Structure 1
Amino acid sequence: MTKAFSKTPPLPYYIVAFSPQRTEGDNGYAEMAEAMEELALQQPGCLGAESARGDDGFGITNSF
């Protein structure tokens, strides 16, 4: 038996990925991104969310 780094729920696991390309200006993006993350974290079994964005404006948010 292999030791795990953390105690996780039984399989299966799923990932939801959101990959936007930002344009000039906010255009309500920050508020919507925050609301989306809050909703994801409220889902039963959600393990967390991670986001990253490059200098070119392309980003990805994964919720597990």
Structure 2
Amino acid sequence: MSKLAKPPQPPYYAVIFTSIRTEGDHGYEQMADEMVKLGFNQPGFLGAESTRDINGVGITVSYWASLEAIENWKNHPRHRDAQKLGEDLWYKIFATRVCKVARHGLFKL
């Protein structure tokens, strides 16, 4: 994901996923690509932004129309598979935070 997401006017929701990766790929990149494609096709998905630094710390923020849409994504069978692999294989530590976006702004040059 190389562009900033363009969600609608608030309110909407943001899921912030912060992680530190383990060493090696172990199928991570393939699953990450699959999750992006799958996520973009979920009802209520509004966009996402993601980055990872050289120390392996990553932050992905996905934007959603409703808490129900977030819950549906959380419980999607293939996403559940990815979550389990993340716990067992890909992440040393991770955190998920769900926030309601009440206001936003965009500055561009």
Q: TM-score, normalised by structure 1?
A: 0.69
Change (3 A) 1:42 1:7: closer
What SS is found at the alignment partner of 1:47?
Answer: strand
Distance 2:14 2:43 in 1: 13
1:10-40 CA deviation, whole Å, 9 max, x = no partner? x531112222211221011111211222222
Higher fraction of strand = 2
Q: Which runs of 4+ in 1 moved over 3 A?
A: none
Partner of 2:53: 54
- Unmatched 5+ residue regions in structure 1? 1-5
User: In structure 2, what is the equivalent of residue 12 of structure 1?
Assistant: 11
Q: Which structure's residues are more often helix, by fraction?
A: 2
User: What is the RMSD of the two structures over their aligned residues, measured on CA atoms?
Assistant: 2.2
Query: Relative to 1, partners in 2 of residues 1:21 and 1:7: Cα closer, same or farther, differing over 3 Å?
Result: closer
The number of equivalent residue pairs is 58
1:54 alignment partner AA: D
Closer, same or farther: CA 37–7 of 1 in aligned 2, 3 Å: closer
* Separation in 1, partners of 2:23, 2:7: 42
Gaps of 5+ in 2: 1-5, 64-109
Give the TM-score, by structure 2 length.
0.45
Percent identity between the two aligned chains? 52
